A and B are shown apart, each in its own frame.
Chain A
């Protein structure tokens, strides 16, 4: 991401306002997984300034129908307004398609601590093709690999429901896509 630097590549000065805007946007939390910021999730793609001075925040949806995107866009606009940017807009881009590989390492740890098994890194493309494949997931509570899938679909589009056979606890798994 190049948001911290001025867009004009011939001027190598750091745009402090743009940096502040970026920090404000990046701190917005995902409403459905409130321990992760939009930056942790990898859905914040760019923060730039348009010719007329408007701050443009570019985000990408996790899933085509993710209902959180509207709320996220509103919260980013609110965060920028609070930071003093009254001219701001949020743009939604589809391409390149979001993948769980964009979740930062920090995000994976935050998820685990929150009780959600994080997606396996780099597994998004590997698991893509297999027709009857099932991910092997470690329990976020006790760490055991002896887990089973209860349902491929869970409380939100990005999660599946699992159960740990060792500690008997049910848990959410953040699916690889």
Chain B
């Protein structure tokens, strides 16, 4: 990795912020993947059962590759499994929006649209990362987010343009989730260091593209774009909502109770 920053400008050693920035991506994919997998067995229709399982599989697959890369960069020999199963809530760096409870199907779909509309251009930009492995993972991920966004958008249009009740529920979902969207575009010192060396990308610069996608989908769905107000954040410092602990309790139970157990 080439170093364009002086030591004073970086936060810690290069492997620290590089590791940290990979962890954010891996955790976000894993937690959203886990959330979507919770629909298995109880999705509203058989087709959506398949959709949720498939999308969850993509996300968990991405997280595996990202954790493996993060472990390599960290250089302490931690594996994908150790990173996923043996860290506590305050060590997790996933965006808060993905740990929100699934709610009704409108909430799940609204979250899919809000996040995928960010993830698609984000991973597209990452295909040019100076980290070749990350660029490779991103090239695959961008194809997947393209149809995640399409799937979510089609449903949001059906809900918004459907019955009075489906419209109301979709609007409620958007209104509830809106304050979680600001965090996606935040640039802190880790992001700045990653951007400066070409490993990461400028999240803030993706906002206009995200706005355009969201406006297009909401217009078709006859839904109102919520007003930008206070935006919640905290995932970067490990400050999470009450929901993450519950996810980890379920997801990590086996490895915590039977360390090193494998299928």
Contacts and interface: CB of A to CB of B under 8 A. Distances in A.
Contacts of B133: 94-95
A94 B141 CA distance: 10
Contacts of A157: 54, 57-58
Contact of B61 (A64, A96, A98): A64
Interface stretch (B96-104, B143-151, B167-175): B143-151
Given A63-B61, A65-B62, A94-B133, A132 B154 contact: yes
A61 B62 CA distance: 11
A152 B151 contact: yes
A161 B140 CA distance: 22
A67 interface: yes
Contacts of A161: 47, 50
Interface size class of B (residues with CB under 8 A): 35 or more
Interface size class of A (residues with CB under 8 A): 20 to 34
A95 B135 contact: yes
A150 interface: yes
Contacts, number: 90
A151 B58 contact: no
Q: Is the interface of A mostly helix, strand, loop or mixed?
A: loop
Interface string A48-66: 0000000000000101111
A151 B57 contact: no
B59 interface: yes
Contacts of A97: 136, 139-140, 143
Interface string B202-246: 000000000001001100100000000000000000000000000
Nearest to A127: B146
A177 interface: yes
B81 interface: no
Interface string A113-139: 000000000000000110111000000
Contacts of A66: 57, 61
A85 interface: no
Given A151-B47, A151-B50, A64 B217 contact: no
B60 interface: yes
Q: Is the interface of B mostly helix, strand, loop or mixed?
A: helix
Given A94-B65, A95-B136, A161-B47, A131 B216 contact: yes
A154 interface: yes
Given A96-B139, A151-B50, A63 B132 contact: no
Contacts of A154: 50
A133 B151 CA distance: 11
Contact of B143 (A67, A95, A128): A128
Nearest to A98: B140
B153 interface: yes
Given A95-B132, A95-B136, A153-B47, A63 B150 contact: no
Considering residues A66, A152, A155, which has the most beta carbons from chain B within 10 angstroms of its beta carbon? A152
A119 to B, nearest CB: 13
Contacts of B139: 94-97
Contacts of B54: 153, 157
B177 interface: no
Interface of B: 33, 47, 50-51, 53-62, 64-65, 132-133, 135-137, 139-141, 143-144, 146-147, 149-151, 153-154, 213, 216-217, 220
Given A66-B61, A131-B213, 11 more contacts: A61-B61, A63-B140, A65-B33, A65-B60, A96-B136, A96-B139, A97-B136, A99-B143, A152-B150, A153-B54, A153-B55
